[in-house]
Amino acid sequence: MTDCTCPFQRHLFPQCTQEKELRDLLRSNDSPSAFQVAHCRSISTSLPAELERYDDEILRLNAALFRAESERAAVQDYSRLCDAVMSPVRRLPAEILVDIFGYFTTALHWPWLEFPRSDSIEEEMRRVANVELLRVAQVCPRWHQLVMGTPSLWSCIELDLCQWTAPDSRLLLLLKTVLDRGESFPLDLGIVWGNRDATSRVLELLASYSTRWRHVAFMTWTSPLDEYSKLSAIAGNLPLLSSLAINTGWNDVEAITFFEGAPQLVDVRFNGLPAKLPKLPLEQLKNLGLGASGPEDLTHVAATATRLSREVAIAVFSSTWEETATIQAVPRVSNVHVLSVRVIGPFDAAPARSAMRDWMLHFTLPHLDHLWFDCSQYAGVPLPWPADHFLALAHRSSFSSHLTVLELDPVFITEAELLQVLDVLQSLDNLTISDHKRIPGAPTEYVLLTDALLRCLTWTPGPACLAPALSYLGCHTLLKFDDDVYRDFVLSRIGPGRNEDGPFEVELFWDSDNQRDLDSVFSCVERRFVSTGAIGYCYRNAGAFQGTLFLILTFPHGQRPPLSSRNGIGRIQHRAGDLCFCQLLFEKDETRPGPRLKFCQPPAGPLQSGDSSATYYRTPVPTTFACTQAEELKSNMYLKITQSFSDYIRGLCFERPERTLDDAVIAGAQFPPSFLDGVEEAIKHLHSLGYAHNDLNPHNIMISKAGDPILIDFDSSLPLGLKLTKGGTFEWEYEGGVSAKENDLWALAELREWIEGRREY
């Protein structure tokens, strides 16, 4: 055996000259010399021992290789362990982890429209147990402790009792376990009733937890009334119940009184015979939704509405409505402020026309300020408009003095009929209308937003002006109007003194397949609006984004930028004026597919005292300073200041930067030390205003197409000295906990070292 500590000796390894001599000898007929004979015999004799030495060396080297590979794997595993210990996820507060875990739980979306259905009892057990959440709990002991010890994660339960073919002790025990994990946290329940015995057992169990009920939805289908008796224990024990939905089909539940004593109940949706409505505390309700399948049901709906003062939603089932020439109805007076009429199809025009007419005959609404229409299966088939009956309703209800919001999106109304409505509704503040595409069987499309209508809506002095208080106009349009006419309409409405209640906004929606060139619309904006500094606009392209993107265009110095919050469709948050520290937010708007264009006027008046953005509004912007703010989801669209002068932003351009500074460095890009001078200029300007950025890192610097840095992400920017409410980026935050110049200066110095390769990310 060879000594492992000594170098391996190659005793028989041939020299090049020796090997060449023997090969030449083989090619000739010469005999080997005596020396060659002795040499060959020596090699043959020593060969077995030499090969054994090689085998031993190979075994030694293989063992060393195996040991090295094992040690390498151990070092790599240890490195992963160290990385895991330093992982940012381990630094997340428990509150944030719980919020993340919430995405793995059941969510009862109100109103409860999608009922839980299971294909098997095993699937039902997995849903009741919340298997996805339990998988998360298996990641580590800390996560397990958080999942099992956080009652809010176990506060929503959906059950499909149709799969419970008999009372199942396993499921009942599982359900009780989940209920107990929720402790005293408010409970949301969604239940489809099924097997009689199983339903009775489950209801008895749930009734014992009624003090926790918050949002409850029952789909009872054909369950007999006596099954409700299992809930008798909840009477007087519903201190938290705020929302209730019951779908009874054709069952008579009029005798149910369990919910009458719920002190917090404010929202009820009842899908059943209106005449069989359970006993409810109607006077305290803020919202009551009822269905109607014929004129007789409307009589009961109107009678119930007389006891309400907030909001009523009527679901009209037009498929069961019988077309009649006329009906005799005594209008009932209701003091509700909001009324929504939702027509549920599929439907034919004739029954829908009767349904739209009949509900108007049953009501007098002297306090109504918001009326809107909806259609569950619109699909291009608009609702007919009973013009004469609406005018009669408006007259006896005095709509001219109090109706401020009218939404006619799915309604087919002619220009003449709309002008009649606007002539009556002098207090109208918010109007939504729609063009309608051609549908199969229809002769042509119908365009409501025409040049003629826009001219009629153009503001004029004097009593002849239609809708003088109008502050919002929305339209799903086929874009058949002229840009100049549209421009004149907008300019007429944004003049001083035109609208005392707030800014004017006009919003357009159109289908993605519309081929009209939008450049003319935007050029119209640039020609007449940008230079005035009087309005802003927002644009949405559904082909690129799944949400609504609002962009500020421009606004005057010393005034607030436009704020949009209509019906929760979208909003703009502003952190600065001339500096354009605006936050661009995505919000899904499933009800309005397609692109949109919106113009809005900022409200007049000085800034409120104490407004943290006042400094920004009154501060000139360096011409070279470009900054943006975006909620970067799917758009990668940023807003950039191109010029500023005096008190106005002169122009803006839209740019889609290709990558962040981090992306560029990873791709191998090289930057000179002077590259970050523009960022330093922006930071110093921000400091001069009394603010700090507080989150300067490679991900918050974009690279423009010209190669310049663009500073983004100001959601951590606060006045100097204030406590930080949002953490910075791991490894790039200066430990201090307050907004300070040092946060930015330290991060800027670290950035310079990083782009020079003197520190890791």
What crossing angle do the helices spanning 295-305 and 349-361 adopt, rounded to 10°? 30
Domain of residue 214 covers 91-282
pLDDT value at residue 85: 81
Do residues 618 and 713 both lie within one domain? no
User: Band of the pLDDT at 691, cuts 50, 70, 90?
Assistant: confident
Count of structural domains within the chain: 4
Q: Which residue has the tokens 């051609």?
A: 438
Q: Which segment of 335-339, 436-440, 468-472, 662-666 scores lowest on mean pLDDT?
A: 436-440
Q: Which segment of 142-156, 218-232, 465-479 scores lowest on mean pLDDT?
A: 218-232
- Name the nearest CA neighbour of 632 among 549, 726, 535, 522: 549
In whole angstroms, what is the distance from residue 637 CA to residue 652 CA? 13
Dihedral of CA atoms 392, 396, 401, 403 in degrees, nearest 10, equals -60
pLDDT value at residue 1: 44
What residues have CB less than 8 Å from 476, skipping those under 6 apart?
Answer: 409, 434, 435, 509, 510, 592, 594
77 domain-assigned? no
Do residues 105 and 181 both lie within one domain? yes
Q: Which residue has the higher pLDDT, 617 or 297?
A: 297
Question: Which of 411, 428, 445 lies at the terminal end of a domain, its last residue?
Answer: 428
pLDDT value at residue 348: 64
CATH number at residue 735: 1.10.510.10
Do residues 417 and 519 both lie within one domain? no
DSSP-assigned states of every residue in 402-415: H--EEE-TTEE--H
Question: Which of 656, 691, 712 lies at the terminal end of a domain, its last residue?
Answer: 656
Q: What is the pLDDT of residues 319-337, one digit of tens each?
A: 777 766 566 778 999 999 9
pLDDT value at residue 428: 93
| Contact by Cβ (8 Å): 319, 352 | no
What residues have CB less than 8 Å from 620, skipping those under 6 apart?
Answer: 578, 644
pLDDT value at residue 641: 30
Q: Is the pLDDT of residue 59 over 90?
A: yes
Q: Is the pLDDT of residue 523 over 60?
A: no
Q: What is the pLDDT of residues 176-206, one digit of tens each?
A: 999 999 999 999 998 887 777 788 888 889 9
Q: Is the pLDDT of residue 394 over 90?
A: yes
Q: Output the pTM of the full model.
A: 0.63
Q: Which residue has the higher pLDDT, 521 or 688?
A: 688
39 domain-assigned? no
631 domain-assigned? yes
pLDDT value at residue 397: 95
Do residues 131 and 221 both lie within one domain? yes
pLDDT value at residue 109: 62
Mean pLDDT of the chain: 74
In whole angstroms, what is the distance from residue 547 CA to residue 596 CA? 11
Do residues 570 and 618 both lie within one domain? yes
Per-residue pLDDT averaged across 383-389, rounded? 90
Do residues 526 and 602 both lie within one domain? yes
294 domain-assigned? yes
Q: Is the pLDDT of residue 554 over 60?
A: no
Q: Is the pLDDT of residue 533 over 60?
A: no
User: Over pLDDT 90: what percentage of the chain?
Assistant: 23
Secondary structure (3-state) at 303: helix
pLDDT value at residue 167: 61
**Greatest mean pLDDT among 118-127, 365-374, 475-484, 503-512:** 365-374
Q: Is the pLDDT of residue 286 over 50?
A: yes
pLDDT value at residue 432: 93
Do residues 677 and 611 both lie within one domain? no
- Name the nearest CA neighbour of 571 among 518, 670, 505, 485: 505
